[in-house]
Amino acid sequence: SKGISDETIKPVDERVEEWLSPSIPMKRELKPEEHAEIVKAIAAGDRVKATSLYLSATEGDLTTAQHFIKTLIVEKQAAQSQQSVKEGG
């Protein structure tokens, strides 16, 4: 073993990017309307529906789907908190 490789010491932002775009390939990309449906389901608080929409659209696996949904939720919350900061200021 050659000790610690470069892989181990990665800047955090690179690791985050990898998490946001997992290396598991999707069978196919989401169409804009499918993406919109998933966003709508999340907005309605229906994570299960959002996940199953993603799975049937991409034929991906559950882990990737959950990653995707989680990322969307985080983005949505970030956008909302930015808006409330603007309105509050």
Q: Which two tokens stand for residue 34?
A: 């499918």
Report which of residues 44 and 83 the model is more confident about. 44
**Amino acid 4: pLDDT:** 55
Q: 23-53 pLDDT, tens per residue? A: 555 678 899 999 999 999 999 999 999 999 9
Tokens of 28: 């196919």
Using CA atoms, how far residue 39 sits from 23, 31, 60, in Å, is 22, 12, 17
Q: What is the pTM of this model?
A: 0.62
Residue 29 — left, alpha, or beta (φ > 0 → left; ψ -120 to 50 → alpha)? beta
CA distance 67 to 42: 13
Token pair of 1 as six digits: 């073993």
